[in-house]
Chain A
């Protein structure tokens, strides 16, 4: 322990004791080793993907030249962007509704809004499959309208998360600020835009990040909602993993991991690590 510490370890400095450090280190290795190996092997010059045979970027060219894969990625990003925008609006409205007003059936409505978080993905997927079959949703629309069904499904399971995050932020809002703004002559809309929105901005960033990732991440619900001709990135990767394990999958995965990291860092730059961490 003397190797690690210069001042003696205080009783509550659990994270400075050796076994705690080893434990946290082991957990981090457990969480990251598979991802690091996956990324390294995306540069492997071998079809079978188990033995290192030299550096190559040809699988990136192959992945980017795979029209279906690129189309799937563009579809996924489009759906995620649309679902995030809609979830932000719906989620914020729901949060404001539940925070500000007293109305009949409030408990039931509150519960129903957070229900999509609890209902298992598989059940939600099944429900959307049956729903779109029952209403006869057209499956042969042109891009981007062919993504409509998937986007609707994604909004349903993303917006309750935005509501949750925004609501916990609203709890710290001082309602006197709103009154003061009104006394000074602001209209409802102005109060909303100039007082409330600035206060909940960190929650909006965190909620947007959460919604975007949840949408981009979703396989099960999309698998049930996508028509025969619309593929998304997870659905495409799933079929690739099912049938073969190739460095092409690694290359595509690495690109998506990098995208996730970039998005995370943009959010961090905007809000700081702590603000993001606290909204979780």
Chain B
């Protein structure tokens, strides 16, 4: 039985469709439409906003300062996605080819952090990376050890260890985003690899290709849809990240979400914030359009 035409049972169709449609229209499309309208408005006085149809907010958003912030957000999100892919791919491979007994537990190991509160995870990382945190203490201990070994062989000891600033800079933002988004990457990769026909890998190995070559030439092309899904699932939230750059970044590591927040909480320039929000949404649409275009291109192989 194929899909049923809605006219054949109008009552059921209405019962199923109306609550959802109502919710989506009133509590999603309407709020988005308000943001869209505001983005063409101007501030008149402290709370009054006039919808004058001006494009000034968009003009201001294309000023050099905001373009660099957009560019930087893209660069950070792309870097985070790449690092997650490099770290996550072997993990997904290991889970796929793990024994029946181990696989669910490895999956659970990846999923549990995904279910843990984002704020708590960011806070935990901040504790470790602080100047007094364990990351610095560990490096300090290594440094002391090296220094001690050098004196043993009769060389000058190293200068005393100075704690490194690991928090409140761009490094911390990338590190924090990788930490938060890694499970997002591993799960779709695993889903794709799990569906792979293993005999193809075996054939490749039998025919004399090495493991690395088999992975690059057989596994990666076949798992491409899953890799792209993982990339999108990581890239999109990383691009709109607010909490990590806010808590772990320095004054120069703001991303676009932090600038948007400032328009609403401090600068009180709602129309400009609305314009920035919509530019970010358009950027997401472009990313998704690119992804769906790639799907339609037939495999050249």
Which A residues have a C-beta under 8 Å from some C-beta of B? 11-15, 20-21, 23-24, 27-28, 30-35, 37-38, 41, 48-51, 89-90, 93-94, 96-97, 99-103, 109, 112-113, 115-116, 118-124, 126-131, 134, 152-153, 155-156, 159, 175-176, 178-179, 188, 209, 213, 216-217, 219-220, 224, 234, 237-238, 241-242, 245, 249-250, 253, 256-257, 260-261, 263-264, 268, 273-274, 276-277, 280
- Beta-carbon contacts under 8 Å, B122-160 to A: 123-128, 130, 132-134
Which chain B residues lie closer than 8 Å to A129 at the CB level?
264
Which chain B residues lie closer than 8 Å to A245 at the CB level?
123, 126-127, 130
A238 to B88, CA, bound (A): 29
Extra pairs beyond A96-B16, A188-B9 (9, CB < 8 Å): A15-B97, A23-B94, A28-B109, A38-B120, A103-B6, A156-B27, A220-B243, A234-B119, A276-B111
A50 to B133, CA, bound (A): 6
Among listed B60-68, B100-108, B293-301, interface-contacting one: B100-108
A237 to B260, CA, bound (A): 22
Residue of B28, B32, B132 with most partner-chain A CB within 10 A: B28
Which chain A residues lie closer than 8 Å to B183 at the CB level?
31
Q: How far is the CB of B207 from chain A (nearest CB, A)?
A: 12
CB nearest neighbor in B for A41 = B127
Which DSSP category, helix, strand, loop or mixed, fits chain B's interface? helix
A32 to B128, CA, bound (A): 12
Contact A273:B16 (CB < 8 A) given known A131-B34, A241-B126:
no
Is there contact, CB below 8 Å, between B98 and A15? Answer: yes
Top 10 A-B pairs ranked by shortest CB distance? A120-B240, A273-B104, A131-B31, A34-B124, A127-B31, A50-B132, A103-B6, A38-B124, A122-B257, A15-B98
Which chain A residues lie closer than 8 Å to B1 at the CB level?
175-176, 178-179
Is there contact, CB below 8 Å, between A90 and B23? Answer: yes
A20 to B243, CA, bound (A): 32
A219 to B28, CA, bound (A): 18
Is there contact, CB below 8 Å, between A241 and B20? Answer: no
B288 close to A (CB within 8 Å):
yes
Contact A32:B113 (CB < 8 A) given known A13-B97, A101-B16, A130-B274:
yes
Contact A101:B93 (CB < 8 A) given known A113-B20, A126-B274:
no
